Structure formats: C-alpha cells, structure tokens
Chains A and B, each alone.
Chain A
Amino acid sequence: MAPEQGTTAAGVPDARTTPAAQSRSGAVRWGAGLRPPLWLVITATVAAAAAAIPLVYLLVRALESGAASIIETLSRGRVLEYAANSLGLAAATTATALVLGTAVAFVLTRVRVPFARTWLLISALPLAVPSYLAGYGWLVVFPSLNGFVPSWLLLTAVTVPYVTLPVAAALRGASGDLEGVARTLGRGPLQAFLAATWPSVRPAAIAGSLLVALYALSDFGLVAMMRFPTLTWGINAAYSASFDRAQAATLALLLVVLALVVVVGERTARRQLPRAAARAVAPRTVGRGMLISLLPVVAVAPLVGVAVPLLGLLTRLLDAATLRAIDVPRLLDAVGSTVGVAVAAALLAVLLALPIAALASRYRGRLVTAIESVGYLGHALPGIVVGLSLVFFALAVVPALYQSIVVLVFAYAVLFMPKAIGTMRAGLGDVPPRLVAVARTLGLSPLQAWWRVTVPLALPSVGIGALLVAIATMKELPATLLLRPTGVQTLATELWNRTVVFEFGAAAPYAALLVLVAAVPAVILSGVRSSAKEEL
C-alpha cells in the first residue's frame, strides 16, 4: 500500500488567492506528481472492468462481421446524418440545461423567494418523468409537434434537475462574499457571478451537464415520439428490421465514440478545485416585480417536463372508453419490485462508483482518465445494448445467475454508475486534504483516515449518487425487459405492456404510480446538500 504522499503541503491550495488564480494553480498542484495507492487503483480497475462489459461485447459483435461490413454500415444512407443529429441534440440540450439549471439554482439560493424549499422540490420533479412519458403527454396536447426543437426543449426540461440540484447544493456551500466584493468593484451582476461564484459551482455544474449530455445521446423514447432521427433510431432499426446484431453494435460503437468526445470534453472543462471554508450568504431580498419576472425561470422546467405531460396523460385517460378495473395486488407487486431493484441498483452502483470517484477526485494521469472515462460509457448506450451485453456476459461467465435478479441489478449498476461517479467525485474532491493530513498525523493509516474523515464528509454526495441511480432504475425499460426474471414486472414494464396495445385506461395507474414512486427519491434529492462543508 503506497502512502498518500504529498497530500499535506502540495494538496492544499491557498484559499485566499482569487478563485481565478485557484483554478489555474489548482490543476497543477492538484495531484501533480502524486501516485494513487495501489488498492485504490485495483478496486477502481475492477469497477471500470464492470462498466467495460458493454464495450467488450460491442467490439466482439462488430468485429465478427469484418471491417468491410463496419465501413459499409457507417457509410450507408443517413447514418452520419443521424450521428450529427445525436451530437447536435446532446450539445444543444446540455447548453440549455447548464444555463437554465444554474439560473434556477441561483434564484432559489441567492434570492429570498417565498417557499424556496418547495420550489427546489418542484425543480427536482422532472427527474421522475421518463422521457417517453413526457413526449407522449405533449403529443396528446399538441399532436403535430415534431423534429429538433421539441426534442431539444423537452429533453432539456426533463434533464435540467441534473444541473439545478448539484448547483443549488454547491451554491449553498459557496461563499457569496466575493461576489459582493466584485459588485462593489463595479462589475455587473452577471460578470460578478462569473468572476466570483461560478468557479466554485463549476465542478458541480459541469458534472451535471455531463449526465445531461449522456442522457441526450442515449435517449430513444423521446426522439422516437418527436420523430427526430438520431443514432438510437439506427440502432433500434438494426435490431427490429435488419435483425443484425453486428450492424447494431457498429452503430452503438459510433455512439460510444461520441460519448468519449463528451467525457473527455468534460474532463478538460472541469478542473476540480477544493472549496475554501465559506460563510453562508443570506438570500437577497428583491422587489415583487423582480420576483414575478423570475417566476418563469424557475417554473418553466416543471411546467414543460411534468405538468403538461401529466395533463396529456389525464386527457387520454378520460378519453379511454375501456377503463379497466385496477388490479391492486398486481399494481402493488410492481411497486414492490420497482422499489426493490432500485434500492439494490443504487447500492451496487454506488459501491462500483466509489473507487472510481475517489481516484478521479484526487489523481491525474492517463490511467485515471481511462478508468473514469470507461466508467461513464454505459450511460451513453441505449438500454437494449447494455442488456444484450449482459446476456452475453452472464451466459459466458455465470450461467447459473442468468435471468436472475442479480444480473438485472448488475445491469442497472453498469448503466447508471456514471450518475454516481460525477456527484461522488465532486463530493470527495471537496473534502479538505488538510483534515485528512491531520488525521494521518494523529496516527491513522491512509485507509483509516479515508474511512473516518473523507467518507463521512463526502456522504451526502454518495447519497445524491444513490438517489439518482434509484430514479433512473425505476424508469428503465429495455434492459429490464431483456434481463428480468421471467414473470417479474416493474412499473415500467407494466406500463409498456399496456401502452403497446393502446390500453391507455389500463396504463394510466401505472404511469401515475411510476412518476409518484420516482418522485420520492427526487424529493429527497432536492434536500440533500452536496457536501458536509457548511456544517464544519
């Protein structure tokens, strides 16, 4: 076990320099020349290996068809156009989610808003709405919607909490003093925010944006409804019309390449810096007129991502001539399975993400970059690809567990681990290295110091990661259909069972319950602080 050398002096940036200077020097001081302990590298590699299963599978499937066939698939028809659409949609969605999410978080933490806690809770709700439901609900109300713009705006609405929540949490822990200083020095509000506050919330904002980008790349349900053809259309058609796994794998690999571009971009943009101890800032009081003009900012995402879709669903429900009696035991059984797999998946995903996040929060280098990037890949792939890769893996390695709940939960962990990596990395990175150093001087081993100092301080971020995974798991459909034990139903599969045969009346209770159940972790999420810092 290599000692964590150098965390004392080299790891502590001078908190009293300006944030801009911090961000420049932080990247250099932070981890430069440090070697991660071996146990951390090994556990992170194991976790990354789990995340790499889909990649290995895709390479096997794509390569067995030969290079000529790969080139043919990629150069055919509209494939490149689909790829450009995927990338464009991801870029646009990420940009709007980043701006809107940061704005909402700022308003809710820095302005004295009536019912600020309730608003934050409402801001988290779009997380509970699966993108396919959002698309469906909007089409009921406005049937002619189609193309890029509705796909972009709706995806923004359902993904913006990935930015809003971590940024709000970071803002509550960040100092507002410097912003006041900047204002007195003559900067405008936006400039002052960018110069003084933005650097300290940037890691949270960018980590959230990465999740938005990967979500947009892998989404099929919404873009299918909105008739905006992306690479996931191509992948779906390869399975459903060509019955050609090699073709599907080739297209999925193209999606992986796009995801890698995004992940590497995020790593470049991130530049983690530790937050200095901050005084909490009292929210500013503003006039009624100002409050009213801020209302659209905080209300738009919940309105677009939750209210309109639910209204659409309700309309369809009232139209349904054949409202069926609700089978309560079956409904409760689905709720039970959904909650059960979600909790299990959250635990496993957090366990797998922990070493990767710990490594990425403190160390640099090619190996660290590779491990972290691989950890994110599962999230860029459609569920069907990840599902099939685990069929392949389970049958080859643990055939006895095939079609058991174990493999299903493992698949969820692979798919959604990135949701935990980002938040936990930021949380672990926020733990002041000098506290760890103090623990070491008091005679604790590196592992003990990590367990007794770092982990408790980073715990809220672990919780956020777990909640995000749980929400995503509840909404997941394609991998669930492939891997669930025969006969097990989740709310998502039950909903699918009914909508696929137009039984909107019978589907409605499942849709409502799915949103309701997924809203529980979302609501908890809105109350968790990203770091224990403010309690110090």
Chain B
Amino acid sequence: MGLGCAGGLGKAILSNGSVAGPFPFLLFWSSFVMRVSAPLSLTALAATGLLLAGCAAPAPTETEQPAEPTADGAFTLYSGRDEALVQPLIDQFEAASGIEVEVRYGNTAELGALLLEEGDATPADVFLSQDAGALGALSQAGLFTTLPDDIASAVPAGFTSTDGSWVGVTGRARVVVYDGDEFTADELPDTIDAYVGDEWKGRVGVAPGNASFQSFVTAQRVLDGEDAAAEWLAALAANDPQIFEGNTPILTAVNEGVVDVGLINHYYWYAAAAETGVENMRAQLKFLAAGDAGSIVNVTGAGILSPAVDDADALEFVRYLVSREAQTYFVEQTFEYPLVPGVDAPEGLPSLDSLVNPEFDLSDLDDLATTQQLLADAGLI
C-alpha cells in the first residue's frame, strides 16, 4: 500500500504537477517558500499537495498495486546479503521456477534485529543471512521453522545448524590480509599465535566488535582451550592492536598501506578486487596452516520463518540455495566456498577440507556470550 505511494510520488514530483490541499499547514509552508524562491516553491507545493493527496489517505486511489502477497507463486525474502551479488541469483531462480521473489535488502544485523522485533507478525518468509550468529539468535527465539531433512543434511556438520533450523549456504575463510608492498606470503607466520609477538606491535588490524572475529575467537577456545584463547587475547590487547569497526575498513587500511596486516574474511578481498582490478590490489591474502584457529570458515545461511511453515515457494527457494546451480553461482560470482559436497572451491583458493571447521556450533549464542566476556576482560570491547 505504501509502496506505490513513494514510487508514484517520485514520478509525480518530476512531472511537476500541481495540487493544492485545504490544510492550514500547507498555506503555512507555501507562504514561507514564497518568500524565498518562486520556482522552488512550485516544486515544493506540488510535492506537498501530491504527498497529502497520495499518502495521507492511501486507501482509495491505488488500484494498480498488487494485493497482499498470496501463498502461491510468490514469497518475501529478507536479504542480509548485498543486492549486487544476490539479485542476479534471484533472477535466475525466478526465471527457472516462475516464483516471484519480493526482496528487502538490508544489513544482516539490522534485519536480524528487525525480525526479532517483528516476531510472528513478520512479512518475511525467508531470511538470507551474512553470518551464522544472526541465524542462531533467530533460531533461539523460535522464529524459524525446521527445514526438511533433504535440505538440512545437504551441508556437512560444522557448516550448518545442529537442529535443522537453518542451512549453511556459503563459506568465508578467515585469513590474514597483508600489505603486498611490504611482505610476501612466505615471510608471514602460518599460525595465528605468531601475530601477537613483539615484532607485530601496533601493526595488526582487528575488529573485535565484529561477528566474524568473534567466531574466530570461539573457534580458538574450542581448538586451543579457554586459557590459550584468553592468553592470546591478552597478548593482542597488550600489543597496541589497530581497532576497526569491521572487515571492510581493515582491508581498505591494509590496501592503503596504513596497517601491515589484518584479520578478515577472504571474501572481502575478492569484492574489492572486482571493483579496482586484481592487479591493482596492494593488499594480499595469506591462508594460515590447516587446522589453525585463524583459518576457520564462517558461514552464511538461510532459514524459513515460522509463519511460512507451509509456504512451498519459500521452501523451493531455500532448496535452490543448496542446489549445484546456486552453489556454482556463488563460487563464480562471489568467490565464496560452496558448502555442498561435490562443488569445487573457487580457483586459487585452498580446498575447504584443509580449513577444517571444528565441532563447534557457529550459531551457539551461549558460546558467543563467553567469547564476548573474554574480549571484554581483555579490554578489546
């Protein structure tokens, strides 16, 4: 209902039509703009009038807009992944299935909070998330319906939910990004432990408040033990770490030569390289030794929201996400790891098997709380 309002508004303003409303504040507004500038006031008046005509009472006039989405042949997706990368895949799906997808793009954290706030009143049928933590939070709040076995078991354990409430779609390896003008990959340590040594004082960029860094610390706790993780964090904190707000600014800083190395997900490098050209990238990626906590894989994933429990269209879309076609799309277009066995990793990347995910649940929020306590104790958040 409101949808037509803004779109129509945009067109109407540009056509510079003129409608006057009977409202006193309209006169108010217009008498003010008249003092200022005649041509501008015309536009403002037109906009105002149309706004009042078109938006204040949305009910009567809007006949061309589609009615409420029906359960057949259409569903609503909240995408915490970017439009530029996901929309082509959705177009493919729409063409293949004939199902219409209404997509709401946003960032994963905001859409996650939005879904928690909406609860069962959500218009969304499927949530596509950039990280496992948000999926875990929604799952814990009981907002997801359980996926059928054929979907839930399509992805091996360690890369998907433990209870079938959501399924992993792609993987993003934790890597060290380094300044290619200063180092070669061989000169850099192979284990995460080495990056808190004295020689790295003030030279390492991290984002302790970011979900992907926190999953790495959780992995470290599981792989190396609580004490080792706490020690590592204390050593990092004492080593004048360069604190950033997220992965992207770390990559940018390394690429500009501001910081020597940084801990990020591999995927961001490929996104940046696609824009500026691989040959222009000063920042380079270093994959750590197989089995090191610094080389775990964060996953993106999708789940079906409870109110859509019977929505066949939503189910078909999630099934499509773990199909060979969609997995190949991600490999080729976003350079992420496919999670479904039998689809090859992107060229030039170490195989997924060498980046073993330990037996920990990426979306376990109790684990996350412990990790955050460690980070707080170390003075990093």
Partners in one complex: yes
Q: Is A481 touching B110 in the complex (CB atoms < 8 A)?
A: yes
**B276 / chain A contacts, CB cutoff of 8 Å:** 319-321, 502
Pick the contact of B252 from A143, A242, A244, A245 — CB < 8 Å?
A143
Contacts A143-B252, A343-B44 given; indicate if A403 touches B51 (C-beta within 8 A).
no
Of A321, A334, A344, A399, the residue contacting B277 (CB under 8 A) is: A321
B170 CB-CB contact with A under 8 Å: no
Contact B51 A340 (CB under 8 A): yes
**Least Cβ–Cβ distance between A353 and chain B, in angstroms:** 12
Q: What chain B residues lie within 8 Å of A409 (beta carbons)?
A: 55
CA gap between A183 and B114 in the complex, in Å: 61
Q: Does B47 contact A (CB under 8 A)?
A: yes
Given B36, B83, B242, B275, which contacts A505 in the complex, CB threshold below 8 Å? B275
Interface residue stretch chosen among B27-35, B146-154, B299-307, B321-329: B27-35
Distance, CA A417 to CA B9, complexed state (A): 23
Q: Are B25 and A347 in contact (CB under 8 A)?
A: yes
Does A501 contact B271, Cβ atoms closer than 8 Å? Answer: yes
Count, A-B residue pairs, CB within 8 A: 244
Quick check: A224 and B47 within 8 Å, CB to CB?
no
Q: Are A405 and B28 in contact (CB under 8 A)?
A: no
* Complex: A350 Cα to B27 Cα, angstroms: 13
What residues on B are CB-neighbors of A343 within 8 Å? 44, 47-48, 51
Q: Measured between alpha carbons, how far is A391 from B243 in the docked complex, in Å?
A: 32
- Chain B 186-225 interface 0/1 with A at a Cβ cutoff of 8 Å (1 = within): 0000000000000000000000011100100000000000
Which of A2-10, A16-24, A252-260, A456-464 interfaces with chain B? A456-464
CB distance from A135 to the nearest CB of B (A): 10
Partner of B28, one of A239, A462, A481, A520: A462
The answer to whether the Cβ of A117 comes within 8 Å of any Cβ in the partner chain is no
Quick check: is A243 within 8 A (CB to CB) of the other chain?
yes
Contacting residue for A524 out of B11, B40, B84, B103, CB 8 A: B40
Whether the Cβ atoms of A486 and B103 lie closer than 8 Å is: yes
Residue from B32, B112, B380 within 8 A of A243 (CB atoms): B112
Contact across chains for B110 and A466 when beta carbons are under 8 A apart:
no
Question: Cβ of B272 and Cβ of A502 under 8 Å apart?
Answer: yes
Q: Known interface pairs A391-B114, A405-B6, A501-B82. Does A322 touch B28 (Cβ–Cβ under 8 Å)?
A: no
Which 7 pairs show the lowest CB-CB distances between chains A and B?
A336-B10, A404-B2, A77-B376, A240-B109, A243-B137, A143-B256, A237-B209
7 residue pairs from A and B, CB less than 8 Å apart: A248-B113, A321-B280, A336-B10, A350-B25, A399-B121, A407-B2, A497-B105
Interface, chain B (partner A; CB < 8 A): 1-3, 5-7, 9-14, 25, 28-29, 31-33, 35-37, 40, 44, 47-48, 50-51, 55-56, 58, 76, 82-85, 102-110, 112-114, 116-118, 121, 123, 133-134, 136-137, 209-211, 214, 242-246, 248-249, 252-253, 256-258, 271-272, 274-277, 280, 365, 368-369, 372, 375-377, 379-381
Binding site for B on A (CB under 8 A): 76-78, 139, 143-144, 224-225, 227, 229, 233-234, 236-237, 239-245, 248, 319-322, 332-337, 339-341, 343-344, 347, 350-351, 384, 387-388, 391-392, 395, 399-409, 455-456, 459-460, 462-463, 466, 478, 481-482, 484-488, 497-498, 500-506, 520, 524, 527-528
